């Protein structure tokens, strides 16, 4: 395997990890506006993601840094052409941090309500915009011979791209509900399970429509033909299994199955792109590929050594934090924490 292919796979894995981990953070933030019945349950929801949300965002930072170093032309074209949506994602993530971190320092109920609104909006907007962005990358956007995006903001807001945003929002919200049903106890966990069961059907309808239109709208059609490959079928089976486990009250297995759908869906998108990194709607001769968008071989070699040294440490630390905070969040634990 050459270095360009290896780094494409590594970046794909980083984005896959980000969508899986940050996906349930987004989902919890979206449900935060509707699910909790009282102040204690709101605290339970914040505590469920409290030890993890900031570490989950590191996956995005690492993916962006790896893209910048390994494929600078991909990074330049993507961040210049998608500047406004990506800028809004960054602003929303900052707003969410403000809502989470400052809430405990506010003394008035009105100020805490503003922080709750920031937490909700800072979760909803990225959940939607990431779906729009990934859909446009796979579908193709106008890129000319100089690797410059020549479209406008409206170009990125096609009906199919907006459908992609709806799909990602529904799937991440479902992911968050499944995470809560696994991480909290009591009536909140049961309410999260019922919410997940209700969300499954609109998510399935949106996903099915998105997948069927994808054969006409995206490069996946030419790569996979009329018969879906193994990975798309596995994604369908995992999503169906998620519904079965929700009804069987198997919270951990339902979360794992729903998460597998996100993982497989992301892998399908990157597999459909390869060896391209961005598709030009002006013609295949203008596509950005792992060859014409990559850094020098020496740069890729140095980066690989750094990644092989640091990445296992980061993964080990994050796995350790999930193990330490593996216990379910209860009303009593939140009330005791608030008393100190």
Look at residue 340 in the predicted model and tell me its pLDDT. Answer: 39
First to last CA, the chain: 55
Element (H, E) at 173: helix 159-183
Give CA–CA dist 272/77, Å, rounded. Answer: 19
| Residue ranges of domains in the chain, CATH in brackets | 3-277+296-329 (1.20.1630)
Give CA–CA dist 116/118, Å, rounded. Answer: 5
Task: With beta carbons less than 8 A apart as the criterion, state whether 174 and 203 touch.
Answer: yes
pTM of the shown model: 0.91
Element (H, E) at 289: strand 288-289
Look at residue 226 in the predicted model and tell me its pLDDT. Answer: 45
- 199-241-196 Cα angle (round to 5): 20
Backbone angles phi, psi at 288, to 5 degrees: -90, 130
Ordered alpha helix ranges (H), the chain? 3-31, 39-49, 53-70, 72-81, 83-103, 109-139, 159-183, 187-217, 220-224, 230-247, 251-273, 297-324, 331-339
Ordered alpha helix ranges (H), 225-330? 230-247, 251-273, 297-324
For 32, counting Cβ atoms within 10 Å of its Cβ (0-12 exposed, 13-18 middle, 19+ buried), the class is: buried
Backbone angles phi, psi at 276, to 5 degrees: -85, 155
Give CA–CA dist 181/266, Å, rounded. Answer: 24
For 261, counting Cβ atoms within 10 Å of its Cβ (0-12 exposed, 13-18 middle, 19+ buried), the class is: buried
Percentage of the chain exceeding pLDDT 90: 57
3-state helix, strand, coil in the chain (%, to 5): 80, 5, 20
Look at residue 219 in the predicted model and tell me its pLDDT. Answer: 60
Give CA–CA dist 234/301, Å, rounded. Answer: 34
Look at residue 111 in the predicted model and tell me its pLDDT. Answer: 85
Look at residue 220 in the predicted model and tell me its pLDDT. Answer: 55
Task: With beta carbons less than 8 A apart as the criterion, state whether 231 and 260 touch.
Answer: no
Look at residue 277 in the predicted model and tell me its pLDDT. Answer: 93
Instruction: Render each residue's pLDDT in the chain as its tens digit; 340 residues.
Output: 789 999 999 999 999 999 999 999 999 999 998 998 888 889 899 989 888 888 888 899 889 999 999 999 999 999 999 999 999 999 999 999 888 888 877 778 888 888 889 999 999 999 999 999 999 998 889 999 999 999 888 899 999 999 999 999 999 999 999 999 999 998 999 999 999 999 999 999 999 999 888 877 776 555 544 445 688 889 999 999 999 999 999 999 999 999 999 999 999 889 888 889 999 988 889 999 999 999 988 999 998 898 888 888 888 888 888 888 888 888 887 766 654 3
Max distance between CA atoms of the chain, in angstroms, equals 64
User: Following DSSP, what letter does each residue of 241-264 receive, concatenated?
Assistant: HHHHHHHTT-HHHHHHHHHHHHHH
Look at residue 265 in the predicted model and tell me its pLDDT. Answer: 92
């Amino acid at each position: 395997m050459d270095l360009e292919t290896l780094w494409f796979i590594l970046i794909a894995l980083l984005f896959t990890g980000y969508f899986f981990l940050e996906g349930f953070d987004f989902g919890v933030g979206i449900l935060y506006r509707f699910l909790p019945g009282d102040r204690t349950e709101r605290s339970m929801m914040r505590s469920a993601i409290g030890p993890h949300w900031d570490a989950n965002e590191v996956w995005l930072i690492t993916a962006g840094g790896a893209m910048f170093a390994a494929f600078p032309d991909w990074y330049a074209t993507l961040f210049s052409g998608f500047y406004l949506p990506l800028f809004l994602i960054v602003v929303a993530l900052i707003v969410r941090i403000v809502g989470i971190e400052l809430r405990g320092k506010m003394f008035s109920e009105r100020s805490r309500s503003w922080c709750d609104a920031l937490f909700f909006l800072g979760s909803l907007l990225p959940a939607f915009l990431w779906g729009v962005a990934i859909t446009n990358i796979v579908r193709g956007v106008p890129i000319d011979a100089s690797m410059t995006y020549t479209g406008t903001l409206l170009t990125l807001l096609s009906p199919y791209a907006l459908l992609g945003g709806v799909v990602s929002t529904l799937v991440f919200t479902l992911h968050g509900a499944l995470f809560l049903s696994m991480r909290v106890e009591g009536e909140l966990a049961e309410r999260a399970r019922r919410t997940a069961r209700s969300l499954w059907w609109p998510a399935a309808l949106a996903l099915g429509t998105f997948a069927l239109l994808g054969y006409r709208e995206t490069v996946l059609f030419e790569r996979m033909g009329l018969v879906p490959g193994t990975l798309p079928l596995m994604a369908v089976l995992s999503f169906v299994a998620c519904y079965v486990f929700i009804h069987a009250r198997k919270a951990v297995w339902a979360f794992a199955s729903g998460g597998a759908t996100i993982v497989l869906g992301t892998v399908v998108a990157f597999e459909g792109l390869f060896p391209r990194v961005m598709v030009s709607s002006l013609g295949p001769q203008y596509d950005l590929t792992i060859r014409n968008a990559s850094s020098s071989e020496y740069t890729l070699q140095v980066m690989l050594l750094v990644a092989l040294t640091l990445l296992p440490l980061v993964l080990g630390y994050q796995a350790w934090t999930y193990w330490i905070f593996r216990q379910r969040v209860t009303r009593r634990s939140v009330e005791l924490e608030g008393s100190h």
